[in-house]
Structure 1
C-alpha cells in the first residue's frame, strides 16, 4: 500500500503539548482510521517537536496540506526522520487497561514489543499495564513499529514512556 506523508512544524517544544496538538489537528482534519500521527524531536539551533501524518491517499494528503497551510503552519512533504514516536495509529484506542502482549499486537499496528534489559521479546501471554498511554516508535533499522516496555510489579510490563512525566528539575 502506498502512503503519503507530510511534516507539520508548529514550533511546539514539549511532547505533551505536541501530543495534544496532534490529536487536535487530526480531529480538525477529520482524519479516517488508518492514519499515523507521529512526533519527531528536532535538534539544532531551534529544538522543537515536529509532527507528521502518514495518510492513505493522495487526495487526503492534498486536503490536509491545504488546510494545515491555511492555519499558517510550516508544512513540508515526507517525514523528518524514520524514527517517529507514534501517537495516533491503527488500534491505539483499543489499548487501554491491562492486555496480554498477544492482544496488544492483534489490536494495533504495533509489530513487536521489546523489554528494557532483556534479550528477545516477551511471551505472548505476558500482561502489559497500558496506563492508557502507549507510544511505540518506528525503528529505522527495519521500519517496524515497536513498543519499548519495562518490568513492573507482579511480573507485568508497562510502556517505557510514562503518561505524566516529572519535568526535569521539578524540585529546584
Structure 2
C-alpha cells in the first residue's frame, strides 16, 4: 500500500492505526518498505493468515482511499507488526525473543556468529526485524555490560544534530 508516507515513524504509526481499524489477527504481518528514486517514500505491506482476511482488508483499505496493489514491494520488509511483537518488552534473553515471537534469528553487528541464547537483549519496546532470505532477522548491537540492543532505536538522533 502506498500511503505517500515519507518517514519510518509515520509509517509505523499508520500500520498500528490500520491494524486496529482492521482488527488484524495475531498471525498478521505489517511491514514497511523503503522506496528510492524520483519520489522517495515508505510503502506498507500486510500479510494475513488467510485469503478471505486479505480480501476483506484490501476492500476496506481501498474503500478508505488507500492505493492498494497485490504483493510486497520487495523481499526485505521491516516488520512492525508480527506474531509475538507485543511480548517483546523490557530485557529478554535472545532465546526468549526467538521463542516468544516470529523472529527466526538474531545477529549482532560486527560479529560473525550468533549471540548466545542467554544473552540479554534490552528492547526499549522497539523491535524491528527485517525479512532476509525468507527469515525474520533482528539485527542487534553490543551495549553496556554484555547486553544487546536492537540496531534500530525508537527515536534516532538526526545526522549532524550537534551542528
Bucket of the pairwise TM-score, normalised by the shorter protein: over 0.9
Q: What whole-Å deviation, never above 9, does each CA across 1:61-109 have from its counterpart, x for those lacking one?
A: 1111111001111100010000000000000000000000001100000
In structure 1, the residue matched to 2:26 is: 33
Classify the secondary structure of the residue corresponding to 1:87.
Answer: strand
Distance 1:69 1:106 in 2: 36
User: How many residue pairs end up in the alignment?
Assistant: 163
Distance 1:17 1:145, change over 3 A: same
- What residue in structure 1 maps to residue 106 of structure 2? 113
TM-score (ref. length: structure 1): 0.92
Q: For structure 2, which runs of at least 5 residues remain unmatched after alignment? A: none
CA–CA distance in structure 2, aligned partners of residues 21 and 12 of structure 1: 9
* Match for residue 158 of structure 1 among 111, 132, 149: 149
State whether structure 2 residue 49 is matched by structure 1 residue 49: no
Rounded to whole Å, the distance in 1 between the matches of 2:116 and 2:131 is 21
Q: TM-score normalized by structure 2?
A: 0.97
Gaps of 5+ in 1: 1-7
C-alpha displacement of 1:167: 2.6
Match of 2:91 in 1: 98
Give me the whole-angstrom Cα distance separating, in 2, the residues matched to 1:85 and 1:63: 23
- When the two chains are superposed, the root-mean-square deviation of aligned CA atoms in Å is 0.9
